[in-house]
Chain A
Amino acid sequence: MAGKMKRLLALAAVILTTAALAWAGSDDQAKASGAPKPVIEKAVKGEQCVEPNDFMRRNHMKLLLHQRDETVLEGIRTKKYSLKECIDCHASEKTGSVAASKDDFCVSCHSYAAVKIDCFDCHSTKPQGSVTMHPLNVETAHYAYKRAAQANRKVSVEEKAGIAQ
C-alpha cells in the first residue's frame, strides 16, 4: 500500500514539474516577443494627417495643449489642431469612438506606452455632425460617405450568390 502511494506521489511530482517547466518556458517566449503591439486603425477620413505621422506620434500632445489654451481662453477655434477634428477622423468604425474599447485609436497606443489620457474625462470621444445628431445614425453617421463610396463598387461573386439566395 505504502509503495503504491510512493509511486503515485512520484508520478504526481513528475507531472507537476513538467507542467511548471512548460509554463515557465511559454512565459519566456511571451517575454521575448514583448507586449502586444498597439493596433493603429487607419483614419476613416482623409489620406494624410495634418502633419507627417512621425511628427504627430511624438508631438500631438504639444499641438493639443497649445490649441486647448487658445480655444478656452481666447475663443480661437481653428480646426487644424483641434481635438474635435482628431476625433472626427480617428473614431473607430466599430465603436464610433476614439476611446471606448481597448483597440480604439487613442487608447490602443496610450495603454501600450502606459500614459494615462485625461482628455476623455471631460471631452466626448465621439464625432459630431449634423447627420450624427439623428438618433438612428448616432453611432455610425460619420461613415455615411464611406458607405456611399462602397455603394459604387463592383459587387463580388459571393455577394451576388448571397443576394440570389
Chain B
Amino acid sequence: MNDMKSMPDNMPSSPERRRFIGAATVAAGVTLVPGVMLIEVAHGRPEDQPASSAVRWGMLIDATKCATGCDDCVTACSTENGWTPVAESAHPRQAPQWIRKLELQDPLTQKETNLPMLCQHCGDAPCIDVCPTGASFRRADGIVLVNRHTCIGCRYCMMACPYKARSLVHEPLHDTQKPDVPRGMGCVEACTFCVQKLDRGDGTTACAEACTNDAILFGDMNDPDSAIARRLRELPTKEVRADLNLDLSVRYHGI
C-alpha cells in the first residue's frame, strides 16, 4: 500500500501492473471456487462434467396436499417424456406408466389418501441387483436409470421392484420419441427424475413443476440449505415399504 501512496495520483497504472492485478484477481477467484462449487454442482453442472455424488436428487411428496382426481403430474410427465397416456393407449393394461396416481382408503377408518407413485430411486435398488446385463444402474447423483443400449427386455427388474414402477415398451413407437428422451420397443423404462432437465440445469422435474397444490417438492437432499432438505428436517416423512431398507430418494408425508 505504501508503494501505491508514493505514486502520484494522476499517474496511469502501467500495463504490467494491470496484468498483475488481473492475474491476482483470477487466482483469488480460483481459491474461492471450492467453497462455491457445491452449490454450482447442484444447480447447473457444466455439460462436460459427469454427475457428481455430492448431489443426491430427492423428492418429497405431501399426500395431505395431493388432490383427489387431479392427475396434473401424470400428464406433465407423459408430455415431457413422450409416453402415451394410459387412457389413450390401445392396450391400457400393458401401457408404459412412469408415474401413476393411487387412491387409497383405510378399510377401518374410511380415511382416503391420494398420492403419486413412481420410481423411488432406491439407494440399494432391487432392480439393479437382479439385472443380468448391468443395464439397470444408479448414477452418481442417485438417479436409477435403464441403459437401453444394454437392456435385453427380460423384465427381471419389473418383477423385483416392490413399487411396480417399471414398464416394458411392448409396441413399436414409430419415431414418436422426444429428441431428449430416447425410448424403444423391448426395453424396460421408468421415471428418470427428468434427467434431461436436470442435466440442462433446470433443477426440477416436470411433475414437480406441474403440481398446482405444491404436493411435490424436488431438490438436492445433500445440500442442507435446499428447500427439500429444510422441509425434510421439519416434517415427519415416511418411506413406502420402509421395512425393505432400500434407502429411498422419494419420501411421503401424510401416509
- Which of A's residues lie within 8 Å of B, judged by CB? 68-70, 72-79, 84, 87, 97, 100, 120-128
In contact, A84 and B179 (Cβ under 8 angstroms): yes
Looking at the assembled complex, report how far the CB atom of A124 sits from the nearest CB atom of chain B, in whole angstroms. Answer: 5
In contact, A120 and B149 (Cβ under 8 angstroms): no
In contact, B47 and A77 (Cβ under 8 angstroms): yes
Number of inter-chain CB pairs below 8 Å: 61
A residues less than 8 Å from B184 (CB atoms): 121-122
In contact, A78 and B175 (Cβ under 8 angstroms): no
**Other-chain residue from A77, A125, A126 in contact with B199 (beta carbon distance below 8 A):** A77
**Other-chain residue from B47, B139, B149, B179 in contact with A126 (beta carbon distance below 8 A):** B179
Cα A122 to Cα B187 in complex, Å, equals: 9
Of B48-56, B98-106, B159-167, the segment with at least 4 beta carbons within 8 Å of chain A is B48-56
A residues less than 8 Å from B156 (CB atoms): none
- Beyond A75-B139, A75-B199, A121-B185, is A87–B51 a contact (Cβ under 8 Å)? no
B140 located at the interface, meaning its Cβ lies under 8 Å from any Cβ of chain A in the complex:
yes
B183 located at the interface, meaning its Cβ lies under 8 Å from any Cβ of chain A in the complex:
yes
A-B contact pairs, 30 of them (CB 8 A): A68-B149, A69-B149, A72-B147, A72-B148, A73-B137, A74-B50, A74-B51, A74-B139, A74-B140, A75-B45, A75-B51, A75-B141, A75-B195, A76-B48, A76-B50, A87-B179, A97-B175, A100-B175, A120-B175, A122-B177, A122-B182, A122-B184, A122-B187, A123-B182, A124-B178, A124-B179, A124-B182, A125-B175, A126-B179, A128-B180
B residues less than 8 Å from A87 (CB atoms): 179
Nearest CB to that of A128 among chain B residues? Answer: B179
The size of the chain B interface, using a CB distance under 8 A, is 27
**Other-chain residue from A77, A97, A100, A122 in contact with B148 (beta carbon distance below 8 A):** A122
B residues less than 8 Å from A123 (CB atoms): 177, 179, 182
A residues less than 8 Å from B198 (CB atoms): 75
In contact, B148 and A126 (Cβ under 8 angstroms): no
- Which of B's residues lie within 8 Å of A, judged by CB? 45, 47-51, 137, 139-141, 145, 147-149, 175, 177-180, 182-185, 187, 195, 198-199
B residues less than 8 Å from A69 (CB atoms): 149
In contact, A73 and B147 (Cβ under 8 angstroms): yes
Nearest CB to that of A80 among chain B residues? Answer: B48
In contact, A124 and B187 (Cβ under 8 angstroms): no
A residues less than 8 Å from B195 (CB atoms): 75
Cα A121 to Cα B149 in complex, Å, equals: 11
In contact, B149 and A72 (Cβ under 8 angstroms): yes
A residues less than 8 Å from B137 (CB atoms): 73
**Other-chain residue from A68, A75, A126 in contact with B50 (beta carbon distance below 8 A):** A75
Cα A76 to Cα B147 in complex, Å, equals: 14
Nearest CB to that of B177 among chain A residues? Answer: A124
| 17 extra interface residue pairs, beta carbon distance < 8 Å, beyond A121-B185, A122-B183 | A69-B149, A72-B148, A73-B137, A74-B139, A75-B50, A76-B47, A77-B47, A77-B199, A87-B179, A122-B182, A122-B187, A123-B179, A124-B175, A124-B177, A125-B175, A126-B179, A128-B179
